[in-house]
Amino acid sequence: MWYPEARVHCACGSTFTTGSTRKEIAVEICSACHPLFTGQQKLIDTAGRVDKFNQRAAIAKRKQEEAVARSKERAAKKAAAEA
Among 7, 12, 20, 25, binds Zn ion (CB under 5 A): 12
Among 32, 59, 60, 76, binds Zn ion (CB under 5 A): 32
Closest approach, Cβ 70 to Zn ion, in A, equals 49
Q: How far apart are CA 38 and CA 18, in angstroms?
A: 20
Closest approach, Cβ 25 to Zn ion, in A, equals 12
All residues at 6 or more sequence positions from 2 whose CB lies less than 8 Å from its CB, including other chains: 19, 20, 21
Q: Are 43 and 55 in contact (CB under 8 A)?
A: no
**44 scored as a contact of Zn ion (CB under 5 A):** no
**List of residues contacting Zn ion (CB under 5 A):** 10, 12, 14, 30, 32-33
